Amino acid sequence: MTDIIAALREEHAHIGQLLDILERQIAIFDRGEVPDYDIVEGVVDYFQSYPDLYHHPKEDLVFHRLQIRDPEAAAVVGDLRQEHDELAARTREFAEAIRAVLDDAQVPRESFGQWAHRFIDFQRRHMAHEERTLLPAARAALTKEDWAEIEGRCRDQEDPLFGSEVGDRYEALRRDILLWERESGGA
């Protein structure tokens, strides 16, 4: 019944790891050097291909049930759907900034850095908020039937980066994730 919560938490861990990886590239950019844009693009591409399409919609379903079971707890979570729209908009904004830089358009350095930091900060704040409010409240308030209903409505989609099949487009990113894991003493 709480498998969905475990899945969401695991996805948060992956998202957190990618934000660390992205932040490392942006630190290179902030120093006036050239980051690995394959990695930067890969991270943003991933956010648009998986979290925006599958992770947040799953949370929206959980949130909807929470509004029915415990409106007060849902009020503490706030307007989650609106926040997800906002996140998707920031991701699009950042993706456009990367494309502009790669196309050699005249993008002021500070703007690119600002978009990048805003993207990272917003994603982290959003996730921490969900971990603090949405997930524990849902665990406490939702019934077995709620979880079964959510499960039935979730579109099953394998994670294109952390699943068993990683597409070519994520090759550079996958390599960096392995490096990151080795350096941080992970898997």
Which residues form the interface with Fe ion (CB under 5 A)?
56, 59, 130
Comparing CB distances to Fe ion, the nearer of 41 and 59 is: 59
For the bound state, the minimum distance from the C-beta of residue 136 to Fe ion, rounded and expressed in Å, comes to 13
Q: Are 52 and 87 in contact (CB under 8 A)?
A: yes
Dist CA 61 CA 56 (whole Å):
9
For the bound state, the minimum distance from the C-beta of residue 59 to Fe ion, rounded and expressed in Å, comes to 5
For the bound state, the minimum distance from the C-beta of residue 172 to Fe ion, rounded and expressed in Å, comes to 25
Q: Cα Rg for the chain, rounded, in angstroms?
A: 18
Q: Are 161 and 170 in contact (CB under 8 A)?
A: yes
For the bound state, the minimum distance from the C-beta of residue 58 to Fe ion, rounded and expressed in Å, comes to 8
Comparing CB distances to Fe ion, the nearer of 29 and 122 is: 122
Comparing CB distances to Fe ion, the nearer of 56 and 65 is: 56
Q: Which two tokens stand for residue 38?
A: 């394959």
Q: Are 98 and 48 in contact (CB under 8 A)?
A: no
Comparing CB distances to Fe ion, the nearer of 42 and 55 is: 55
For tokens 């693009």, name the residue. Answer: 41
For the bound state, the minimum distance from the C-beta of residue 78 to Fe ion, rounded and expressed in Å, comes to 11
Q: What is the dihedral of CA 32, 37, 39, 45, to 10 degrees?
A: 130
Comparing CB distances to Fe ion, the nearer of 9 and 117 is: 9
Q: What DSSP state is assigned to residue 185?
A: T
